[in-house]
Amino acid sequence: MVDIAFLALAAFTVATSLIALEAKEIVYGAVALGLSFLGIAGFFILLNSPFLAAFQILIYVGAIAVLIIFTVMLVRREVWLKLAEDKGRIVGIFGGFTIVAIILIFTISSQMAFQFPPKEQISFTVIGTILIKDYWFALEILALLLTASVLGALTLAKLEKEG
């Protein structure tokens, strides 16, 4: 069952990454990039790393992708006011059904059992030690990707301002 979830997640992540690269409109590319980041968070969930999945969602989807979208929408406001409603409505309906289908697939195929929190309190120093000891490589890669995303967002904002 995990193999099916992995293949579906891999196809979703690759497809949204390609859409992000090839989109003619920057906003559609940014939305696809955010969905690609959600796919990567799904990989972390499949690897039983919910902390890294939450980190991925909070930082990349919640900050970087939203930053890019708001930057582009604030800079190019007149383009969004001219969009036809019918086209946006069809894309919205298709996107809504796609998101519901993905959530249902992950809910049905999920085999993760609910884990109760431990009775004793774990200190932040222990959590930090575990993160540095066990997940140092993933944290370094995420830090480098975060830096690249911020530089990309600044470059996009600069290109829009110059154009």
Number of neighbouring beta carbons within 10 Å of residue 152: 13
What letter represents residue 15's amino acid?
A: A
Domain that holds residue 105: 2-162
3-state secondary structure at position 128: helix
152, amino acid identity: G
Assess whether pLDDT exceeds 70 at residue 63: yes
Task: Residue 45: count other Cβ atoms within 10 Å of its Cβ.
Answer: 19
Residue 49 — very low, low, confident or very high, per pLDDT cuts 50/70/90? confident
Residues 53-81 have a mean pLDDT of 72
Identify whether the C-beta of residue 37 lies closer than 8 Å to the C-beta of residue 65: yes
How many structural domains compose the chain?
Answer: 1
111 membership: H or E segment, kind and range: none
Neighbours of 57 (CB within 10 A): 19
Report the CATH number that the domain containing residue 114 is assigned in CATH: 1.20.120
Closest CA to 79 of 24, 158, 41, 130: 24
Please answer whether residues 30 and 68 qualify as being in contact, where contact means their C-beta atoms are separated by less than 8 angstroms: yes
pLDDT at 159: 61
Mean pLDDT: which of 22-31, 43-52, 79-88 is highest?
43-52
Is residue 53 within 8 A of residue 41, CB to CB? The reply is: yes
Amino acid of residue 22: E
